[in-house]
Each structure stands twice: as C-alpha cells, then as structure tokens.
Structure 1
C-alpha cells in the first residue's frame, strides 16, 4: 500500500507470471522473462467498513472483486472479440470470398475490442467492478 485517504487506500499491484513461485526461477528463461515483463500499477481501493487507523503505509493487503463481475468481465473480454471475429469473417466470406473473410475477421476483431473498451470506460465508476479490501497483513 502506498497511500492512505480517509475513505480509501492506494495499492500498488504487481502482475507476475505463472511461474513466479518456482524454486528454479533464477535459472529458467521463462522465469527471467516474466520478471522482465512484470508490471506494477496503482489502484484506489475503497475502505468500506475498514478503519483507516488500523492501516499503515507499506502494509500488504489482499484485494478482490466480486465473482459475478469477474465472470461477466472475463466473458466480455475474451468471448466478444472472438465471436465478432468469427461472425464478421463468415459475413465477409459470403460477400467477397477469401479476401472478404480475412478483412471481415480483422474488422470483427477490432470492432469487438472497441465494444469492450467502450464498456470498460462506461463502467469505470461502477462499484460492482471496483476492487475491495479483503484482508490486511500489517508490516508493524
């Protein structure tokens, strides 16, 4: 955690590869690449019922989002571009053969990605998709 506000905390998240816990990470090429490409970002997490006096800077916290938000978000992000790619490719093939299928696939993929981005921006302030503080591990 990097900052505390009266009603929220700012958390620095680190995305790691799947093999970040492996004992041979230092000698494995995949482990070295995952360390190189890992990224950190800062997000605001509402405190809800947590008391800000119980939290100190540099505490380790566990955050999460609701199961429904995770499932619907995953379906939207992964399936919508794929379905729009296939449908646009089939439509393009019916209209213009092989070239139409390739162009339709590209247009469908980009269109699906644009819809996902629009949905993401529209629901950016939706508390359903906001992370919540689940557990606190103090550094004291």
Structure 2
C-alpha cells in the first residue's frame, strides 16, 4: 500500500476533501538525475493537491489523515494509461503503412487513430474500475495533547 498524509479541508456527507502537499524524496533517490517526477515537482513548485475520498474513518475538518492506494491497482492503471495507447499507436502505424499503400502519410494517420483509440479505450476502462483506483482513507493521525497548568 502506498500512503500519503494529508489534512481534511472539507467534509460533505460521506465524502471528505483532503489536501496533500507534495513532499519530495528526490534528494535521497539514486535516479534523481533522470526522473520525470523531480522535473514535474520543480515546475509545479510543490503545490498542494486536493482529492475527494470516502470518509471511512469519520474524519473532521482539520484532522490529519493517512490516504492509501493499492500498489497493484496503481501498477495496473499505469500500464493501461501509458501502455495501451502507445501499443495501439505503434500497431496502427504499422498497419497503416503496410496495408494502405506503404505511404508515410498512412502510417501517421494510423498512429493518430491508434493513439486516439487507445485513449478512448482507457477512458471506458476507467469508468468501469473507478472505485478500485480511488485512494482510501486509512486512519486519522491523532496527536495527544498535554494540558499544561
């Protein structure tokens, strides 16, 4: 399970809006020189993100919560989102070139058609499995307060 800590900023019925601030582990990562995540974090400036999740632990506004997402689900989603459109783009490009006259124009049109078809298929798949890909609220981090007299 991949986890992230955030703060509840709003509660609406059984849903909660949780704000997370990107923290970077880039300084300790051995692949930091060639990582797209580091470049993305530099561009966005580490801004806060908000995500709507099912409030399964009855968190209140201001509570610090731990969100989690299953690694297998994340891996499967990554393969679908990145792999399927690219695979269809390559296959349709080859098909367009081979079957429609050997022209580069048909290869380009086939590539665009395959890429668009891949995005459409990913969107349909996403609608079917949306519940499994949502982060889940795992627990509320409660800090004990000490009353000083």
**Above 0.5 in TM-score?**
yes
Three-state SS of the structure 2 residue aligned to 1:96 is coil
2:115 and 2:12 map into 1 onto residues whose CA distance is 40
Aligned 1:1-140 pairs, distance under 5 A: 1-14=8-21, 19=26, 34-37=41-44, 38=46, 40-48=48-56, 50=57, 52=58, 55-94=59-98, 95-97=100-102, 98-120=104-126, 122-123=127-128, 126-138=130-142
Three-state SS of the structure 2 residue aligned to 1:58 is coil
1:9 and 1:89 map into 2 onto residues whose CA distance is 44
Change (3 A) 1:31 1:69: closer
Contact 1:14 1:41 in 2 (8 A): yes
Three-state SS of the structure 2 residue aligned to 1:123 is helix
Deviation at 1:90, TM superposition (A): 0.8
The gaps in structure 2 that reach 5 residues or longer are 1-7, 30-36
1:110 and 1:15 map into 2 onto residues whose CA distance is 31
Give the number of the structure whose residues are more often strand, by fraction.
Answer: 2
Change (3 A) 1:35 1:138: farther
2:66 and 2:81 map into 1 onto residues whose CA distance is 24
Change (3 A) 1:16 1:91: farther
Deviation at 1:8, TM superposition (A): 3.2
- TM-score w.r.t. the length of structure 2 is 0.65
1:32 and 1:71 map into 2 onto residues whose CA distance is 21
Three-state SS of the structure 1 residue aligned to 2:62 is coil
2:39 and 2:82 map into 1 onto residues whose CA distance is 27
